[in-house]
Amino acid sequence: MVKKLKKQYDTPNEGWSEERIQKEDELIEEYGLRNKKEIYKTESQLRGLRRQARKLFASEDEEQREALVEKAYRLGLVKESANLEDILTLNTTDLLDRRLQTAVERKGFADTPKEARQIVNHGHIYIGDDRVNLPGYLLTQEEEKELSVEMPEPEEDEEGAEEEIVEESEEPEESENSEEEETEEVDEK
């Protein structure tokens, strides 16, 4: 028997809200997201962080508090001297800014968010020696420093093929001219 996978995100509770829909559309355009599902996944991750921060805020376990703040710091969501309240003030755009796709655009490897997504999906992005092709991958601060792009070089065969096409297009013109000259010679006789 195959275990059925559950959704890893929650959709909005209200059915239709013009303000929410407009905000989601702006986020999709700004960050080059494929669909609203990516926004919902990000919001679910954020809710999980906030929920964990609220639980730790009520408890007295200082070790777990420091671990959560350290995790948020490694992801680049908060400053080093942050506390749990800073985690509670995070919003969706803070998490969207840490995505691999956004980092590729921010570093100048792509001109638009959609171009950045395409470069990531095609497997041209490397973190250290590892190829990463997930646009939604959350980068840590250390990984962002190791980010690189390896685009394939154009092959020489393609350039040679273009030259052949140009040469072939010139030849028919010459043959047309020679036919015209032959017709003129026949007319003169």
pLDDT (tens digit, 9 = 90+) per residue, 137-152? 999 999 999 999 998 8
Q: Which residue has the tokens 């986020």?
A: 27
Instruction: Specify whether the CB–CB gap between 151 and 118 falls below 8 A.
Output: no
Ranges assigned E (strand) in 23-176: 125-127, 130-131, 147-149
Average pLDDT, the chain: 86
Nearest CA among 146, 172, 24 for reference residue 96:
24
Residue 32, Ramachandran bin (φ over 0: left; ψ between -120 and 50: alpha; else beta): left
Question: How far, in Å, CA of 25 to CA of 88, rounded?
Answer: 24
Domain count, the chain: 3
Please tell me whether residues 114 and 148 are part of one structural domain: yes
Task: Please identify, among 33, 66, 98, the residue that sits at the C-terminal boundary of a domain.
Answer: 98
Please tell me whether residues 83 and 142 are part of one structural domain: no
Q: Read off the pLDDT of residues 85-103 as tens digits, 9 standing for 90 and up.
A: 999 999 999 999 999 999 9
Q: CB-based contacts of 44: which residues, under 8 Å, 6+ apart?
A: 8, 9, 10
Residue 14 lies in a domain: no
pTM value?
0.75
Which range marks the domain in which residue 112 is found? 99-152
Ranges assigned E (strand) in 40-161: 125-127, 130-131, 147-149
Please tell me whether residues 29 and 82 are part of one structural domain: yes
Residue 11 lies in a domain: no
Residue 107 lies in a domain: yes
Identify the pLDDT of residue 189: 46
Please tell me whether residues 132 and 159 are part of one structural domain: no
CATH number of the domain bearing residue 114: 3.10.290.10
Q: Read off the pLDDT of residues 116-126 as tens digits, 9 standing for 90 and up.
A: 999 999 999 99
Residue 125 lies in a domain: yes
Please tell me whether residues 27 and 93 are part of one structural domain: yes
The DSSP bridge partners found for residue 149 are 125
